Structures are given as structure tokens and as C-alpha cells.
Amino acid sequence: MGLNYPIKQMMDDNGVLVDGSCTSDLDATLIEKLYYHMYRIRTFDQKAISLQRQGRIGTYPPFGGQEAAQVGSALAMGEGDWIFPTYRDHGATLTYGADMTRMFLYWNGRIEGCVPPEGKNIFPPAVPIASQIPHAVGASWAEKRKKTDRVAIAYFGDGATSEGDFHEGMNFASVFQTPTILFNQNNGYAISVPFEKQTHSKTIAQKAAGYDMRSVRVDGNDCLAVYFETKKAVELARTGNGPTLIEAVTWRAGAHTTADDPGKYRPADKGKNIIDPLVRLERYMKKHDMWNEQKIGEIKSSLKDEVDQAIAAMEKYPDAKAEDMFDHLYSELPEQLLKQKESFLALADKEE
């Protein structure tokens, strides 16, 4: 079709700057902030996997390898903007200001985990694939109608682009020129289905052409490229220049969830040459005299303490109540669900 969407990169695998277009904005403060948040969410992620293995939280979807995509994009958002995550974007929401204890509570089955901090427009994680995309477009359209300058970002994986909600959201965003960032993390697999088997498109970015929408394809393991391209898209949206589809090409290093075995569908050597996004940033920092062993050690120690404290706070909560599954669906339960609730609670009482 002649559609060409090269992957934009600012920093290569060795931490060498290959695009100097934004060097004036590349200060030590930004680099340290990127590293801090990437290491913070990795610490959270690794601990969450351990907690699930110990039976202390439920099934958990790791995001290891996607830290640059999540942190780079979330840091580009402004105060008051809207975040619509999937079940794998807790790294982005933590970066944007979600409470870590509540994040653990979510994966422990408690409704408190869906409640964002005061003043933070963070929707609960969307488990149904692509359902959050129309929500994000609708929220950003509402902000446009209210004449604010707030924008919304919707996170989704490559598999979501095969869902109707993706295309409906894209079409609505395009028609009404909503201030929306549609942020795709193409990690190579839609659960167990490789990218090339779930879409015939060579890229996700080219799907925007059908909606006459701006799109860009970035190296999702390059936190600098992700940050500056998302920032550009945010500013365009904020100033009335419509939506952008961003395809961040990244890699899901681990399993789809802790209930998944990627060895059954993914070749063992696939991804072996992909450089860890944190390693790439470390190399950049060392090349530019930003690496301080003592300071980095203190950061890592403080983040470990933060995660441990969040876990301790989570485990002080009583067990989730069974009726929570019913009590937050309707203002008044329909008769059928009311009977289900009564039956369920009666069964729970017998088991106790």
C-alpha cells in the first residue's frame, strides 16, 4: 500500500543519542525522573509476581520490558488529564500518581483498588479488551465541549486493534477531533497470538490512515523517544489539533499473566537480542556523567522500602467481601442478580 512508518528513536541500545532534535530539553532532572519511575515500577512489578506465587494476591499481569513505554508516556501527561489503562498499565498509572497500596489492593480483589487519589483522573483498569478506548474518547470529547485544555490517553495492546471498540473509538475521535492520545503498546503478542497472525497490517500506526488521523511509530524501549513523541501529541491535542495514534514497539519479557506459560507459544530465543529499557537508560546516564552509584543505591533502597510498606498496608485490610461483586453494578439490583447474590452469600455462609 506504500504506507511507511519508520520507528522513531532518540537513543540506541548502547545509550547513544541518535536524534538531537530535543537536546535542549534533555536535562539531568528529566533523565533522573525517567530512571526513578522506571526502576520504581519494575520493583513493584517483580514484587507483585512474587506475591502472586505466594498466594498473597490473585492472578497478576506482569509488564516487565514495557517500563519505558509506560513511564515515558505517563510523564508526558499534564495535571488534570485523563488516564484510561488496561490491566497491564499499572506502571503508567503509578507514574501518573496512583496510590501503590491501592494498586496492590486491586490485585488482591478489593474495590478500594479502583479508587484513584483525589484530583487524579485515573479510570480503573479495563480487563475487557479495547473497552476503555471509547471511554477515553468520550471523556476527552466532554473536556472539549467544556472548553478545557485537558486531554485523555487510552492504553491498549496490539490485540485490541482487532476489536470493534478500537475502530469505533478511532472513528469518533477523528470525526469530532477529540483531544485523545491512543497509545498502543505493541509487545508482539495478543495473549498467545503473534502480531502477524492477528492483523495483516504491517504496523499499528498505519491503521490511522483510514481515519485521516495523525500517527507515529516509536521505539517503545526508548524512554526518550516515547516521552517526547507523547509530549508532542499531547500538545497538539491540547491546542485543538485533534487525536494521535502512537504505536510503541516494545517487548513483553515475561508471561501474559501469572497463569500463562509463554513457553507453549513463544520460541525460547525470541526477544533475546532486545536490550532492557532500564539498561539502555543506564548506559545513557553513564555516557553523560549522570550515573552516581551512591545516589542510585539510595534510590533503589528507598523504592524497596516503599513497596514493602505498601504491601504491609495492603495486608492489614480484611478479606474482600463476597457481596462486593454485586453491590457496585446497579443502584438497585435486578431480580435475577438479587437471587444470585442471596444464593452466593448462603453458600459462602455454609463454607464458613
Which residues carry out catalysis?
Answer: 252, 256, 265
Q: How would DSSP label each residue in 27-39?
A: -HHHHHHHHHHHH
- 219 SS3 class: strand
What is the dihedral sign for C-alpha 227, 232, 233, 234? positive
All three cell numbers of 186, joined, read 505493541
Give me the torsion for CA of 140, 146, 149, 150, rounded to 10°: -40
Estimate to the nearest angstrom the gap between the alpha carbon of 229 and the chain centroid: 16
The phi, psi pair for 11, rounded to 5°, reads -130, 125
Strand pairing report for 189-190 and 180-186:
unpaired
What is the longest distance spanned by two Cα atoms in the chain?
Answer: 67
Both ends of the chain: CA-CA distance in Å?
63
Spatial separation of the C-alpha atoms in residues 291 and 97, rounded to whole Å: 26
For the chain, how many helices (H) and strands (E)? 12, 8
Q: Within 10 A of 43 (CB to CB), how many other CB atoms are there?
A: 16
Spatial separation of the C-alpha atoms in residues 303 and 53, rounded to whole Å: 21
The phi, psi pair for 126, rounded to 5°, reads -95, 115
Estimate to the nearest angstrom the gap between the alpha carbon of 59 and the chain centroid: 17
Closest CA to 243 of 174, 144, 328: 174
All three cell numbers of 25, joined, read 530539553
Spatial separation of the C-alpha atoms in residues 80 and 58, rounded to whole Å: 31
* Non-local CB neighbours of 77 within 8 Å, separated by 6+ positions: 83, 96, 151, 153, 230, 234
